[in-house]
Chain A
Amino acid sequence: MLFSSIPFLYYFLPVVLIAYYLVPKPAKNMVLLLASLVFYGWGEPSYVFLMMASIGLGYVFGILIEKFRGTNWSKVCMIISVVISFGFLGYFKYTNFFITNFNVATGLSLPLLNVVLPIGISFYTFQLVSYIIDVYWGKVVAQKNFVILATYITMFPQLIAGPIVRYSDVEHQLIGRSITFERIAYGIRRFCFGLGKKILIANILGEYCAAFKATDEKSVVFFWTYAIAVSLQIYFDFSGYSDMAIGLGSMLGFQFIENFNYPFISKSVTEFWRRWHMSLGTWFRDYVYIPLGGSRCSTSRLMFNIFVVWMLTGFWHGAEWNFIVWGLYFGILLMIEKSFLLKWLEKYKVFGHVYVLLLGIISFIIFDAANMSAASQHIGAMFGMTDIPFVTGITAYYLKSYAIVFVFAMIGATPLPKLLIEKIREHKVGNVIVRVVEPVVMGVLLLVVTAYLVDGSFNPFLYFRF
């Protein structure tokens, strides 16, 4: 089920909120668990059982790890659990990729399994693995209550597209959380804001991208503006989803970690990745990069660690070579920055911004492309390496039609609107105006988003494929 859909907004969510607020505290986790299973089952009825099996195994191995703490059996249980979790992920997400590449390498033609990728498996597998490893490291105590653990893993606000919430971050909230008007009001604000980012910016930019793909009259300008549009679309789509998840969590009494922090204002790729998909970045840092030795090692080992982390980051996003290349692309840039460039970028900030935007846009072309051949053709066309006109009438038409959305998106991707509101709030009258206008804006936003949904507009969620 999509957050940005009428069934979720006006059928699922109201029922869940009413039930959740009405039941006594001890029953809230059960309501949340049942709601999450319905939410997941709505799109993947048969894969509910797979997810529950994964959680069941994680539950058992968590307890066993703790039981055998101090012995080798604890490590064995941890390894078995992690292998099983990644085994499920590997089977459903990567089998066809490996078979295809094996066939290419050997000339054989082994049949593809054509398994359907369960929605959200990459996200809930990472949450489960982080829980198991944290139990093994003794950072958290194994959860003895299956309902609580299942509630953590399946929690519908963050189940299928993150943020990747750590068990350690919500352990206490799972047992006892306070639901206040302040948190609900914040949640409403955050949810509506995310919904607006998704429907009014990401989806409309998505239409621009669809128009680009549909026309035969492409131009250099169209290739560039498509690249900008797709970068902004991915950002608003994913960060909008994260806003909605954080908002829903807040309405339910949870405090989830932030996932985005204006990544396009970064001055280096290193900074970009501290601001983009932060929950994934910190996951790889804590569970792969640091265990490999982190940065406190020889230069060659450091480069190796970065290489492994970024190859895995790319591969996590999808079972295609372009995702691996996308990950390695960032890995190489980070290695270069770590070697010498970072200091220089910090000195020449304007250059740093241009550099991040340019390389970021190119990265999203690789990310968005069907394969590496399409990505290289697209990048070639952007730099005039194909025989296409600089601009065409169709390019001009669509640019004119989407100009305001582009401007909104570019400004919205920076902290400028937030800073402006904070500036207004510094004045007494301004503060009163903001306090009065803000709830009205949120209400209008809900109505406008509903209008777009009712009209049956373009509405895919990009991160569902991960």
Chain B
Amino acid sequence: MEKKRNKLYVIAFAILFFGLTFFAWLKPADEFSATERRPLDQFPTLNAETIFNGKFMAEFEEYTLDQFPLRDAFRSIKAIMHLYVFGQTDNNDVYIADGYVSKLDYPLSDKAMDNAIKKFQSIYKSYIDGTDANVYYSIIPDKNCFLAEGNGYPTYMFDDMETYMNNGLSNMTYIDIYDLLSVEDFYYTDTHWKQENILDIAVALGTAMGTPLSSEYEKVTLDTPFYGVYYGQLGLQMEPDKISYLDNNLFENCIITNHENGQKIPMYNMDKANGRDPYEMFLSGSLAVITIENPNATSNKELVIFRDSFGSSLAPLLVEGYAKITILDARYLNERMIEKYVTFDTQDVLFIHSSSVINNKTAFK
């Protein structure tokens, strides 16, 4: 009896173990993980050099992790175990609170803020100082600022970041938008704010820069499900968000140029809306230099925005008041290249970034 049981035990376990093994060996390699939004590692180069320097072994391990069969299902199992069996409050620093998924952003890093201040001041001193440009900066509070404290997650005080940045950027005018935002203004599964909820932010920024904005927009909601960046990091099944954008006839005559390749791009890129990251539909995502020329603007003013991805959905709402907006991403653009795209004289200049980007040590390194 015991012998038979042991035999059955071994056979059953062998079926499970070798089943998974052969599945792992025979499954064709995937190129890309849609949930994690990243390319997956492929089989590494195998030769004497890569074996003896250990490179093959290191890369093979990465390859096997990336290409393991049912990878997303296994990641979900891990997240369920972590959150619901072990009762851990976050999984890979990502947590769910009030139905929103967010990422721990703690503690406040002086080094990260110093990096941001240094970068902004360097741009200021190199190009703006001595001109008649009006320089503003604003910080977009991260979703975490509205979720973490009330739900028992560690966070820093946004006021502390404001104070630190104000000290470092005292030659610029700070535009406070904290009170205009709440957690409802963010997607459930993504880090970003919803464009349809930030019209008041655009108006506040415009007003602070002396450019009143009053256009009305039509809200268009896409059918495509929007699985935000935190969805993939969390590893749990969740309802997707819906992505909407604000449209206006004004945009039809705008000329939008991607200066990375000189090509014209749409204000809202519908190909990207159906792509791996639908949020990239706003001004085609993370491009280093974009200009928007608006022949029907209410003024001849120009605006230069130094921004992160949040700025992609904000910039269209500022178009009404400016004949030209130059949008730059200081994280990806070599500082010395700025003069190629902008000659600073009387423009409005706005540095606007998310608090999570400012608190990231590598963002402005």
Contacts and interface: CB of A to CB of B under 8 A. Distances in A.
Contacts of A188: 9-10, 13
A401 B88 contact: yes
Nearest to A440: B12
Contact of B86 (A405, A435, A446, A450): A405
Interface in A1-29: 1, 5-7, 10-11, 14
Interface in B5-38: 5-7, 9-10, 12-13, 16-18, 20-21, 24-25
Contacts of A5: 61
20 contacts: A6-B24, A6-B61, A7-B57, A10-B20, A11-B21, A11-B24, A46-B52, A181-B10, A185-B10, A188-B9, A397-B152, A435-B5, A439-B9, A439-B12, A443-B12, A446-B13, A450-B20, A454-B71, A454-B75, A455-B235
B20 A397 contact: no
Interface string B316-348: 000000000000000000000000000000000
A270 B3 CA distance: 40
Interface string B41-57: 00000000001101001
Contacts of A404: 85-88
B275 interface: no
B64 A7 contact: yes
Nearest to B95: A401
B6 A185 contact: yes
B217 interface: no
A217 interface: yes
A447 B69 CA distance: 12
A236 B75 CA distance: 23
Contacts of A454: 65, 68, 71, 74-75, 78
B69 to A, nearest CB: 9
Interface core residue of A403, A439, A455 (most chain B CB under 10 Å): A455
Interface string B76-117: 111101000111111010000000000000010000000000
A443 B13 contact: yes
B17 A14 contact: yes
A451 interface: yes
Given A405-B86, A442-B13, A451-B81, A400 B152 contact: yes
Contact-size category for A: 35 or more
Contacts of B21: 10-11, 14
Nearest to A2: B61
Contacts of A450: 20, 68, 74
A448 to B, nearest CB: 6
B86 A182 contact: no
B78 A45 contact: no
Contact of A184 (B10, B61, B75): B10
B65 A181 contact: no
Secondary structure dominating the interface of A? helix
A394 B154 contact: yes
Given A10-B64, A46-B52, A182-B3, A439 B88 contact: no
Contacts, number: 120
Given A188-B10, A216-B107, A439-B13, A447 B5 contact: no
Contacts of B218: none
Given A185-B9, A397-B153, A454-B74, A14 B18 contact: yes
B77 A447 contact: yes
Nearest to A181: B6
Contacts of A1: 57
Contact of A451 (B52, B74, B153, B154): B74
B124 interface: no
Contacts of A168: none
B24 to A, nearest CB: 5
Contact of A181 (B7, B88, B92): B7
B77 A11 contact: no
Given A188-B10, A401-B88, A439-B12, A456 B52 contact: no
Contacts of B79: 455
A216 B9 CA distance: 50
Given A188-B13, A435-B5, A446-B17, A393 B154 contact: yes
A43 B57 contact: yes
A408 B5 CA distance: 30
B87 A403 contact: yes
Given A397-B153, A401-B87, 12 more contacts: A1-B57, A6-B24, A10-B25, A14-B18, A185-B10, A185-B13, A404-B86, A405-B86, A439-B9, A451-B75, A454-B78, A455-B78
A363 B13 CA distance: 40
Contacts of B10: 181, 184-185, 188
B2 interface: yes
A1 B125 CA distance: 53
Contacts of B158: none
A307 B5 CA distance: 51
A1 B7 CA distance: 30
Given A188-B13, A215-B107, A397-B153, A181 B78 contact: no
B227 to A, nearest CB: 18
Contacts of B68: 6, 10, 450, 454
B60 interface: yes
